[in-house]
Amino acid sequence: MIVSATEMLKKAKAGHYAVGQFNINNLEWTKAILLTAEEMKSPVILGVSEGAGKYMTGFKTVAAMVRAMDESLGITVPVALHLDHGTYEGAKTCIEAGFSSIMFDGSHYEIEENVAKTTELVKLAHDHGLSIEAEVGAIGGEEDGVIGAGECADPDECKRIADLGVDMLAAGIGNIHGIYPENWEGLSFETLDAIQQKTGEMPLVLHGGSGIPNEMIKKAITLGVSKVNVNTECQLVFAAATREYIEAGKDKQGKGYDPRKLLAPGTEAIKAEVKAKIELFGSANKA
Ligand SMILES: [Zn+2]
């Protein structure tokens, strides 16, 4: 059932668990995540980056595929189709394309411009029944070439953006995208706590959820994180399972080259990964 992320995140915040956002890249990814969420009776968020949207030939294609698949698989758990790190233009395109949720990442703008653009998109998203995520304090990692420590957001700026009526707020607390370097200093729980104290009921979003130790994720959830984004881990397990299949020569046995066979181990690996994350985040049986 495709819905906005508003209700599922309010419930998560109140119930002290988090909903996973798993990014999709193609049909196999989408199918694996939807089937696992249904099996676990967990709400779920499908994240689509602008790059992945382009790869899948556009946001309209993505929305059509996800909506049709949700129906044909008979998915009953709440599913949000969410734009990840949207630009101003990308956010508008997704609202028209049939997404149920968007993220506007204005963290690279000065705070005044972030406020102005977020304000406009909050109205547009809500007029169309979508939920919206905003971001304060850039999240480091491969996306902007910063490797080492992630930024920490200013709690007062978080409060300002939260008050614009967004449904969820991403704030940098030392987290980064991609694979964490060995010298990573860990999450700043001090920053997270200060942000939660200022923003109250606002569901907070932890980006770069791949590679953060489980204990840190659990602690972050106790401090108000209600959505955790996972992308890299699914890519790594998919690649490893596919590599194993090919290195074992299975693509050369019988019709092992059939893409439905070739991509099956990777798809199963994504399912196992998503299942483990849903258990860690505590969202099983919360649909
Ligand atoms: Zn992110």
What is the Å distance from ligand 1's center to 62 Cα? 19
What is the Å distance from ligand 1's center to 258 Cα? 34
- Candidate list 70, 84, 105, 167, residue with the active-site label: 84
3-state secondary structure of 201: coil
pLDDT confidence tier of residue 287, bands split at 50, 70 and 90: very high
Structure tokens at 91: 């956010």
Whether 193 is a known active-site residue: answer no
> How many distinct helices (H) and strands (E) make up the chain?
12, 10
What is the Å distance from ligand 1's center to 256 Cα? 36
What is the Å distance from ligand 1's center to 68 Cα? 26
The candidate with the shortest Cα–Cα distance to 231, out of 283, 286, 177, is: 177
The candidate with the shortest Cα–Cα distance to 20, out of 28, 12, 29, 10, is: 12
Measured CA to CA, the distance from residue 64 to residue 217 in angstroms comes to 33
Which residue has tokens 């923003």? Answer: 199
Measured CA to CA, the distance from residue 145 to residue 59 in angstroms comes to 26
Domain boundaries, the chain: 6-232
pLDDT confidence tier of residue 94, bands split at 50, 70 and 90: very high
What is the Å distance from ligand 1's center to 257 Cα? 35
What is the Å distance from ligand 1's center to 153 Cα? 14
Q: pLDDT, tens digit, for every residue of 53-68? A: 999 999 999 999 999 9
DSSP H helices, 73-167, are 88-97, 111-127, 155-162
What is the Å distance from ligand 1's center to 267 Cα? 23
CATH of 6-232, picked from 3.40.50.10810, 3.30.70.340, 3.10.129.10, 3.20.20.70, is 3.20.20.70
pLDDT confidence tier of residue 149, bands split at 50, 70 and 90: low
pLDDT confidence tier of residue 142, bands split at 50, 70 and 90: low
The mean pLDDT of 223-252, rounded to a whole number, is 97
- Residue 262's contacts (CB-CB under 8 Å, 6 or more residues apart) are 242, 245, 246, 251, 256
For ligand 1, a single-atom ion, the residues with CB < 5 A are 207
- Confidence at residue 185, expressed as pLDDT on a 0 to 100 scale: 85
Structure tokens at 86: 């949207």
pTM: 0.95
β-bridge mates for residue 177, sequence order: 141
Is the Cβ–Cβ distance between 46 and 63 less than 8 Å? no
Structure tokens at 177: 């995208």
3-state secondary structure of 203: coil
